[in-house]
Structure 1
Amino acid sequence: MDDGAIWTGDAERLAARVRAYNPKSDADLIRRAYVYGAQMHEGQYRHSGEPYITHPVAVAMVLAEQQLDDATIVTALLHDTIEDTRSTYGEISNTFGHEIADLVDGVTKLTKLQLSSTETKQAENFRKLFMAMSRDMRVILVKLADRLHNMRTIKSMRPDKQEQKARETMDIYAPLAGRMGMQWMREELEDLAFGVLNPEGRQSIIRRFVTLQRETGDVVDKITADIRIELDRAGIAGEVQGRAKKPFSIWRKMEEKKIGFSRLSDIYGFRVIVDTEEACYRVLGAIHQRWRAVPGRFKDYISQPKSNGYRSIHTTVSGRDGKRVEVQIRTRAMHEVAETGVAAHWSYRDGQRVENPFAVDPKGWISDLTEQFDAAADHDEFLEAVKLEMYTDQVFCFTPKGEVVKLPKGATPLDFAYAIHTRIGDRAVGAKVDAIRVPLWHRLRNGQSVEILTAEGQSPQASWLDLAVTGRAKSAIRKTLREADRDRFIRLGTELLRVAFDQIDKRVTQKVLTTAARALGLSSPDDLLAQLGSAEIETRRVIEALYPGLSVDNRDEIDAAAAIVGLDPEAAFRRARCCQPLPGERIVGITYRGEGVLVHAIDCETLIDYENEPERWIDLAWHAGNHPPVHDTTFDLTIANDAGVLGRICTLIGAQKANISDLNFLERRQDFFRVKIDVEVKSVEHMHAVRMALDAEPDVATIERVRDPGRLL
Structure 2
Amino acid sequence: MQTIDALDATLRTYLEADQTRQVRRAYYFAEQAHYGQTRRSGEPYVTHPLAVANILAGMHMDHQSLMAAMLHDVIEDTGINKAAIGRQFGDAVAELVDGVSKLTQMEFESLEEKQAENFQKMALAMARDIRVILVKLADRLHNMRTLGVLPAEKARRIARETLDIYAPIAMRLGMNAVRMEFEDLGFSALYPMRARRIEAAMRKARGNRKELVEKIRHQIESTLNQEGHKAEVIGREKHLYSIYQKMRSKNKSFSEIMDIYAFRIIVDSVDTCYRVLGCMHNLYKPVPGEFTDYIAIPKANGYQSLHTVTKGMHGVPIEIQIRTREMEDMANNGIAAHWLYKSDAGSAGGSHARAREWVQGLLEMQQRAGNSLEFIEHVKIDLFPDEIYVFTPKGRILELPRSATAVDFAYAVHTDLGNRCVACRINRRLAPLSEPLQSGQTIEVLTAAGARPNPSWFNYTVTAKARTNIRHFLKNQTREDSVALGRRLLDKALGDAERALDELAENTLEDYLGHNGYAGIDDLLEDIARGKRLPAVVAQQLLGGSEDTALKRREEGDAPLAIRGTEGFMVSYARCCRPLPGDPIAGYLSSERGVVVHREACRNLAEMREKPERLIPLRWDENVEGDFPAELRIEVENQRGTIAIIATRINSMGVNIEKISTEDKDYQFTYVDLELQVNNRIHLARIMRRLRGIATVRRVMRVTNQPRAGNQRNAS
Q: TM-score when scaled to structure 2?
A: 0.65
For 2:191, the aligned partner's letter is N
Contact 1:310/1:358 (<8 A) preserved? no
Instruction: Give the CA deviation at 1:148.
Output: 0.6
Indicate whether 1:464 and 2:457 are aligned.
Answer: yes
Aligned residues: 537
Question: 1:223 corresponds to which letter in structure 2?
Answer: I
More displaced stretch, 522-531 vs 377-386? 522-531
Equivalences for residues 439-588 of structure 1 within 5 A:
439-454=432-447, 459-481=452-474, 525=527, 568-570=659-661
- Residue in 1 that maps onto 2:320: 327
Give the aligned residue type for 1:525.
D
**Quick one: distance in 2 between partners of 1:325 and 1:523?**
67
Q: What is the aligned partner in structure 2 of residue 168 from structure 1?
A: 161
Deviations 1:606-648 (A, max 9, x none): xxxxxxxxxxxxxxxxxxx999xxxxxxxxxxxxxxxxxxxxx
**Partner residue of 1:108 out of 95, 101, 105:** 101
Matched, 1:358 2:358: no
Q: Supply the distance in 2 between the matched residues of 1:572 and 1:459 (Cα, whole angstroms).
A: 37
Question: Could you tell me whether the CA contact under 8 Å between 2:168 and 2:385 is conserved in 1?
Answer: no
SS of the residue 2:424 aligns to: strand
Partner AA of 1:78 in structure 2: L
**Aligned alpha-carbon RMSD (Å):** 4.5
C-alpha offsets along residues 73-115 of structure 1, whole Å, 9 cap, x if unaligned?
1221222222223434344333323322222222224788999
1:418-446 deviation digits (Å, cap 9, x = unpaired): 32334544454443333444322221122
* Change in 2 beyond 3 A, CA 1:119/1:12: closer
Partner of 1:133: 126
Select which of 250, 259, 264 maps to 1:257.
250
Shift of 1:566: 7.1
1:80 to 62, 73, 81: 73
**Aligned-pair CA distance for 1:68:** 0.8
- Return the alpha-carbon distance in structure 1 between the equivalents of residues 401 and 386 of structure 2: 6
Counterpart CA distance in 1 for 2:43 and 2:228 is 53
User: Bigger shift: 393-402 or 415-424?
Assistant: 415-424
Look up the SS of the partner of 1:447 in the other structure. Answer: coil
In 1: Cα distance, 2:569 partner to 2:162 partner: 34
Distance between the aligned counterparts of 1:326 and 1:398, measured in 2? 28
1:29 is the counterpart of 2:120: no
Identify if the C-alpha distance between structure 1 residues 82 and 266 changes in structure 2 by more than 3 Å, giving closer, same or farther: farther
Task: Kindly report which structure 2 residues correspond to 1:540-689, keeping only aligned pairs within 5 A, or say none.
Answer: 568-570=659-661
Q: Which residue of 2 aligns with 1:15?
A: 8
State the match for 2:241 in structure 1.
Answer: 248
Counterpart Cα distance in 1 of 2:449 and 2:70: 60
Structure 1 counterpart SS, 2:444: strand
CA distance 1:10–1:488, change in 2 (3 Å): closer
Match of 2:221 in 1: 228
Aligned to 1:43: 36
Deviations 1:454-485 (Å, cap 9, x if unpaired)?
Answer: 56665543322322222333344445555667
1:338 aligns with 2:331: yes
Please give the alpha-carbon distance, in whole angstroms, between the structure 1 residues aligned to 2:389 and 2:227.
31
Distance 1:266 1:541, change over 3 A: farther
* Residue of structure 2 in register with 1:304 after alignment: 297
Secondary structure of the structure 2 residue equivalent to 1:193: helix
Query: SS of the residue aligned with 2:177?
Result: helix
Deviations 1:376-401 (A, max 9, x none): 25236534432221234322111222
- Tell me the TM-score normalized by structure 1: 0.65
User: Which amino acid counterpart does residue 527 of structure 2 have in structure 1?
Assistant: P
CA contact (8 A) 1:280 1:330 kept: yes
1:376 counterpart letter in structure 2: R
Cα 1:232–1:171, aligned 2, differ >3 Å: closer, same or farther?
Answer: same
Q: CA deviation at 1:27?
A: 3.0
CA separation of 1:386 and 1:528: change in aligned 2, threshold 3 A: farther
Kindly provide the amino acid, as one letter, of the partner of residue 157 in structure 2: Q
**CA, structure 1 residues 372+445, in 2 after alignment: closer, same or farther (shift >3 Å)?**
farther
Distance in 1 separating the partners of 2:590 and 2:187:
38
Query: Which residue in the other structure is 2:365 paired with?
Result: 373
Give distance in 2, aligned partners of 1:485 and 1:187. Answer: 44
In 1: Cα distance, 2:108 partner to 2:299 partner: 27
Separation (CA, whole Å) in 2 of partners of 1:111 and 1:219: 55
Flag the 1:452–1:34 CA change in 2: closer, same or farther, 3 A. Answer: closer
Moved more, 169-178 or 391-400: 391-400
Inter-partner Cα distance in structure 2 for 1:35 and 1:338 = 34
Equivalent residue, structure 1, for 2:271: 278
Q: Is the 8 A contact 1:152 1:192 kept in 2?
A: yes
Query: Using the alignment, how far apart are the partners of 2:524 and 2:137 within structure 1?
Result: 34
Residue 56 of structure 2 is aligned with which of 63, 67, 75? 63
Whole-angstrom distance in 1 between the partners of 2:524 and 2:387: 33
Q: What is the alpha-carbon distance in structure 2 between the residues aligned to residue 353 and residue 522 of structure 1?
A: 58
Aligned equivalents of 2:344 and 2:15: distance in 1?
A: 11
Q: Distance in 1 between matches of 2:29 and 2:61?
A: 21
Counterpart residue type for residue 125 of structure 2: A
Query: Could you say what secondary structure the match of 2:425 adopts?
Result: strand
Is the partner of 2:241 in helix, strand or coil? helix
Residue 10 of structure 1 and its aligned partner are, at CA, apart by 1.1
Q: Could you tell me which runs of 5 or more consecutive residues in structure 2 were left unpaired when the two chains were aligned.
A: 489-511, 532-567, 574-588, 594-603, 609-631, 634-655, 665-672, 674-704, 708-716
CA contact (8 A) 1:372 1:471 kept: no
Equivalent pair of 1:81/1:87 in contact (CA under 8 Å) = yes
- Report the CA distance shift for 1:342/1:158 in structure 2 as closer, same or farther (over 3 A): same
Confirm or deny: 8 A CA contact 2:335 2:348 kept in the other structure: no
Q: Which letter maps to 1:62? A: I
Higher CA-based Rg: 2
